[in-house]
Structure 1
Amino acid sequence: MKALNTFIMEDWLETYRFNSRFNLGESGGSPRHVKDLLLGSDLTEEQASQIFLNTILCDSPNRGRDDLRNLIADFHPGSTRENVLITTGTSEALFLLFRYLSPNKIALPLPAFQLLYELPSSLGASVIPLPIRFLEDGSPYIDEKEWIQILEKNKPDCLLINNPHNPSGYIFEKIFLQQLANTALKIDCKIIGDEHYRFLSSERNILGETVYKPNGNTFITGSFIKCFGVPGLRIGWCVGPKNALDTMQNEKNYTTHTVNPITEWISLEVLKNKTSTIFKTIKDEWIENKTILNDFLKSSNTVYGVIPQGGLVTVLGFKKATTQKESNTLIQRLIDAGVFVLPLSSMEFGKYDFQNETTYKEYRLSNLNKGFGFRLGLGCAPTKFKLALKEIERILLEN
């Protein structure tokens, strides 16, 4: 395994996440207290206190506690707890999974979260881009026929679908997901569904679509920590064939070994009641913030883009920036004024030829593809989010 490159995005986040008036650079919800989670999951303070104080700090089971694995299996029809491995965050799940699959060629939507292409690259895999282009109004666009053609021509041994997609907020239609699955089977390609935003991918349903199928060909990585604003819990999972999870667990035994029993208990309390206050709260705040952002974009004189279909991030461009230097200047102006947004350059926008096109077929493309803009997080409480957007407009309108 080659040395990993610098995690560009994390350097930006670590520099500004703790000292900005408005942190809109994160990809998760606004951080919540343990009290918010447990009382919002219908525990009383007395119940929560008693369970917490009486929790034994022993090792959890290597694969994760059975009742938690049963819950996660229920999210993936056709699976049982034997198909679930609890991990220290989604990042560990992906690390272990890439080590197990060891792909020679991996196809994935780009742009993407750096870990999704950096890890397989460090293991020697070649990366096959599946283009996500941004149209003139900032909306993400996928040419479905082009993707199928790319897969059939290049025949990767691994296909990764991040759904909803970070950073565009795009949700893949069920029919297209099935087309991708059929193509993967035809070319003997494993599928990874990275689904950590699944709890915020439908305004009507508790969960969005999953690509999971109990066919031995599909793996899912996921978590609830970004959607619920609790990244400090560091819990995630991988769902897949038992024999694969056995191998992954063996490697996990050499590193994190098990997940903290307090973390597992809190996760169990959160996930076992999908009609609880906390489930309703995260959905209501997400929908409200999408409405706030939509109204802002309709009237803004400084930025353009669209609201995310799913998840907690989208990308916005500057109406008056036509070069990377101009974009960088405006981003720095926002940061200096206390509004942290994540530059698209930190997600390596503009790295691929398709991102430097000005048109595609009959469509005009925006400068977002080149990286002239920023990723915006929708994780703030609605009142604060609305105020932050007003600040963005005010700051950018200043001479």
Structure 2
Amino acid sequence: MDSIIVNKQLKELSKTSISKFVGKIKNIDKYYRFDIGLPRLRLKELIGVPLDIMFNNIYMDYSPAKGLYSLRETISKMFKDERGITYSPEEVLVCCGSLGAIYSALKAILNPGDKVLVPLPAWPTYENLIKINSGQMITIDMDLNKEYLELDIEAVDNAIQGDIKAVIINNPHNPTGMMYSPENIRQIINYACRNNIYVLIDEAYHNIIYDDKVIEKTPYIKHPNILYFRTFSKYYGVPGLRLGYVLGNLETLEAVNTVNHLTVGNIDKITQYVGLNLLTSSNTYFEERVRNYKKWIQKASEIIEISDCGMKILQIKGTYYIFARLPEKLDFVTYCQKLLTKYKTIVLPGSIFGKKYHNYIRLSLTENEDKMLKGLENVVECVVSMKK
């Protein structure tokens, strides 16, 4: 029997390293998990309207292609309040998570072979999103020993002879928890806009920020080449909702909307009304969650530093991640395997986010506090046991 013929592009894609690493583990809920950002929040505790009342008032007809006007209007107002940039509701597109939004944007702007610059370390899904849209990912390793992340986009563009079509900036940054300096963001945006390079600003971790001055000083602007992406998964703690959005200049966004409408289609109205309620409910609950993330990061950093195990912590300014460098002489593969098998504790190897970062691990601090603290003891104890 002949083999099934599938799109050849799919053979070039890889199952994300995170899925490979975690997918093999049985009874995963019995482990101490630091592998993925997985806030487990119950929906009825998050929205200000009882679910039965909200659902009783929803008519299940088609929603507008760009999303419910009331949701887009609320997003527009919120973004202006937070970033000082005015996008009309027509310049907001509701999507299936920020992943769906980034996919549609890349499909809209890339021609076969176009190059997309992705600074490393980076969320590994970017590579597949670029590949499936016939693009080519160009990478550059960033120096993590500074207070802020910095990308010299002009030097990279010159090195590949001015051939960059787009650059992806993730800020706050996964996996490091760091942020780009305001001055560097200014340089990236100015250079990109002068040279007709698209800037895709992935703000998945917007509002999970511990240095407010960074955002206040960051010179974000409105420009046809700039798109801003956000999701409800991180700050609002509802990754299962699969709801995100992108803001951009009307002409650019219409192209993204065309792709989104032909691939994902309209987002269901129930999901959008839940999102609307999350945006319009009191922020005190979510602000408390961010304070907890900050507290947990501080506790985790203290545990690691007090242990004197040789692990190094970066300048964390946002997200709920710690990207920790292990002692140089440690066998990193053996460490992760021992931590998994002996200590029932899951971390992600830094190599998932870029080969140069093989001597790092990423810790996601979203477990309940008691379980998280015990897991952190395991992380440190395993390092100490291997140094003897």
Shared fold (TM-score, shorter chain, > 0.5): yes
Equivalenced residues, count? 365
2:375 counterpart of 1:372? no
- Residue 366 (structure 1) aligns with: none
Residue 105 of structure 1: CA displacement? 1.8
- Residue 11 (structure 1) aligns with: 20
- Residue 359 (structure 1) aligns with: none
- Residue 155 (structure 2) aligns with: 149
Preserved CA contact (<8 Å) 1:158 1:192: yes
Cα separation, partners in 2 of 1:141 and 1:79, compared to 1, 3 Å:
closer
Structure 2 Cα separation of the partners of residues 172 and 296 of structure 1: 27
Structure 2 Cα separation of the partners of residues 15 and 58 of structure 1: 41
Structure 2 Cα separation of the partners of residues 249 and 143 of structure 1: 31
Preserved CA contact (<8 Å) 1:378 1:385: yes
**Residues 246-268 of structure 1, C-alpha deviation per residue, up to 9 Å, x if partnerless?**
23333333332111222111111
Cα separation, partners in 2 of 1:232 and 1:132, compared to 1, 3 Å:
same
| 1:1-399 to 2 correspondences below 5 Å | 2-3=9-10, 4-16=13-25, 18-26=28-36, 28-38=37-47, 43=48, 47-74=50-77, 75-76=79-80, 77-102=85-110, 104-135=114-145, 142=149, 146-154=152-160, 155=162, 156-204=164-212, 212-273=220-281, 275-302=282-309, 303-306=311-314, 308-319=316-327, 321-322=329-330, 326-336=331-341, 337-347=343-353, 349-350=354-355, 355=356, 369=357, 371-398=358-385
Residue 232 of structure 1: CA displacement? 0.2
Partner amino acid, structure 1, of 2:20: D
Judge which range, 77-86 or 114-123, deviates more.
114-123
Judge which range, 290-299 or 10-19, deviates more.
10-19
Residue 332 of structure 1: CA displacement? 1.3
TM-score (ref. length: structure 2): 0.85
Residue 396 of structure 1: CA displacement? 3.9
Preserved CA contact (<8 Å) 2:72 2:89: yes
Residue 82 of structure 1: CA displacement? 0.8
**Residues 159-214 of structure 1, C-alpha deviation per residue, up to 9 Å, x if partnerless?**
21111111111211222211111111222211110111112124558977777532
Structure 1 Cα separation of the partners of residues 274 and 249 of structure 2: 26
- Residue 362 (structure 1) aligns with: none
Residue 32 of structure 1: CA displacement? 0.7
Preserved CA contact (<8 Å) 2:167 2:200: yes
Query: Percent identity at matched positions?
Result: 21
2:59 is paired with a residue whose SS is coil
Structure 2 Cα separation of the partners of residues 175 and 219 of structure 1: 19
Residue 307 of structure 1: CA displacement? 5.6
**Residues 311-348 of structure 1, C-alpha deviation per residue, up to 9 Å, x if partnerless?**
122322332644xxx2111111222222111122333x
Preserved CA contact (<8 Å) 1:30 1:380: yes
1:157 is paired with a residue whose SS is strand
Give RMSD over aligned pairs: 2.7
Structure 2 Cα separation of the partners of residues 383 and 277 of structure 1: 23
Partner amino acid, structure 1, of 2:201: G
Residue 228 of structure 1: CA displacement? 2.8
Structure 1 Cα separation of the partners of residues 143 and 172 of structure 2: 16
Cα separation, partners in 2 of 1:115 and 1:245, compared to 1, 3 Å:
same
Partner amino acid, structure 1, of 2:9: K
Preserved CA contact (<8 Å) 2:186 2:220: no
Structure 2 Cα separation of the partners of residues 129 and 222 of structure 1: 23
Residue 53 of structure 1: CA displacement? 4.0
Residue 269 of structure 1: CA displacement? 1.1
Cα separation, partners in 2 of 1:317 and 1:20, compared to 1, 3 Å:
farther
**Residues 125-152 of structure 1, C-alpha deviation per residue, up to 9 Å, x if partnerless?**
33332321344xxx677555x4432234
Cα separation, partners in 2 of 1:308 and 1:224, compared to 1, 3 Å:
farther
Cα separation, partners in 2 of 1:59 and 1:98, compared to 1, 3 Å:
same
1:181 is paired with a residue whose SS is helix
- Residue 3 (structure 2) aligns with: none
**Residues 214-244 of structure 1, C-alpha deviation per residue, up to 9 Å, x if partnerless?**
2212111111312332110100111112233
Structure 1 Cα separation of the partners of residues 173 and 42 of structure 2: 27
Flag structure 2 segments of 5+ consecutive residues without an equivalent: 1-7
Cα separation, partners in 2 of 1:202 and 1:80, compared to 1, 3 Å:
farther
Residue 71 of structure 1: CA displacement? 1.9
